[in-house]
Amino acid sequence: MNDQIGLRWKIAGAAAIATVTLLSLAGALGYQTMINAARQSQVDFLNARLDEVEVQIESDDLNLVANRQVNSVVLVVRSGEFVPEAPAGAVQVVRPQAGDEIIALVALVDTSRINETFATIRLALWAAVFVVGLLVGATAWMVVDRSLAPVRRLTREAEENLDSPSLDPVSAEDGGEIADLARTVNSMLGRLRSADQDRRRFVSDASHELRTPLMVLGAEAEFAVDHPVASEELAQSVLTQTERLTELVDGLLALAALDEHEADLLDTSTLEHVLDRSDSRSALRELPADLEQLWIPDVSRSLGNLVVNAQRHSKSSVDVSVEVVDDVIHINVDDDGPGVPLHEREQIFGRFYRPDSDRNRSQGGAGLGLAIAKAEVLRAGGSLVVGESAHLGGARFTLSVPVRTG
């Protein structure tokens, strides 16, 4: 609210200052123009009087009489006399003469009354400029205050929504820029709401995933206390759960690094090295030797996760193939499992996501492998999509990354 009051003051003050400045300049210019015009009018009048006197001199009828209406007078300066200086508050025109007796004619007019009138006009102009500036400032204040009313409403609603766990959208009743602002705020609130839901779901899923192996380890520890004689089966169970916990923690750390952009840009490696590190050689079709030496981002972890996922859900066959199209490497991982339904093909890359049809905890996996693969491939400037395998009938995951120079 204080910022909005400050904004109103700034806009109203700026409008008032701009108005006063413009009016002052215009008034000063108009006032000076009016003075110059009045002075020129007086000079023209005096020249006309001198013309009359010159005519009288030529006709030897020199009858100089002051014009009382304009307080003007014509003086004849004769040989041996000096031209008088103009008195204060008077306009004087001196016209030299070529005769021997009369050397100059001097016409004067008193401008004291006109100057008083101009002073009054100047005072009135400044008063008018001040009053108009105040009116403009007040008008600008009211207009800005009315214009900011929808912004204050949006601010109030947004603050109330931020205090609410539901993060409801603000209303966008007004048109124009205010509606655009409301849509932007709603978009931001929607992202916050989605992020909050993801966080809650992530915490819940991670807690559940961590709880299961910890419960198993606790039960095994209690069994070991009750049966001091160690057994190979007990050790194997503890080792399995420990590996599961390690895999889960490693996955969480990898996702945290990708989320926080702490992971460096993926190193560049040959396709051959990526295939070897991802343990996908056994499922690889025939690959031309020249393709093995292509340089690509090191997505061996992502490819390995795809292969492990395919092996986990396949019936008997997993197939890895590679193709190059327009300097982009496409690595396809096919299996003969149940496939991924169309409505789950985006959700399957979510964290801890398991389709109800065929993914369950008894099959292993924490539901982080595909999420890590998706995030890593996107960071490498590539894409990861899932579809249907044409020749095996199950799922096909296609990992695409650009070819790089070595």
What is the predicted pLDDT for the residue at 396? 93
Segment 115-130 mean pLDDT:
83
- Comparing C-alpha atoms, which of 332, 38, 285, 7 is closest to residue 151? 7
Query: Which has more confidence, 300 or 211?
Result: 300
DSSP symbol at 284: B
What is the predicted pLDDT for the residue at 358? 46
Determine the angle formed by the axes of helices 369-379 and 232-259, rounding to 10 degrees. 30
**How far apart are alpha carbons 280 and 259 in whole angstroms?**
27
Query: Which has more confidence, 41 or 388?
Result: 388
Give CA angle at 92 (113, 25), nearest 5°. Answer: 60
**How far apart are alpha carbons 360 and 358 in whole angstroms?**
6
**How far apart are alpha carbons 348 and 310 in whole angstroms?**
13
What is the predicted pLDDT for the residue at 192? 77
pTM: 0.50
- Comparing C-alpha atoms, which of 312, 368, 320, 321 is closest to residue 340? 312
pLDDT band (50, 70, 90) for residue 67: very low
Give CA angle at 156 (155, 160), nearest 5°. Answer: 115
pLDDT at 65 over 70: no
Each residue's pLDDT tens digit, 240-250: 777 767 766 77
What is the predicted pLDDT for the residue at 384? 93
Each residue's pLDDT tens digit, 5-43: 566 777 777 778 888 888 888 888 888 888 888 888 878
**How far apart are alpha carbons 102 and 235 in whole angstroms?**
140
What is the predicted pLDDT for the residue at 5? 56
Residue ranges and CATH numbers for the domains of the chain are 2-141 (no CATH), 186-259 (1.10.287.130), 268-402 (3.30.565.10)
Segment 144-168 mean pLDDT:
73
Contact status, residue 362 vs residue 368, Cβ threshold 8 Å: no
Query: Which has more confidence, 3 or 222?
Result: 222
DSSP symbol at 344: G
Each residue's pLDDT tens digit, 271-328: 888 888 888 877 887 777 778 788 888 888 889 889 988 988 888 889 999 988 888 9
Query: Which has more confidence, 116 or 318?
Result: 318
Neighbours of 152 (CB within 10 A): 12
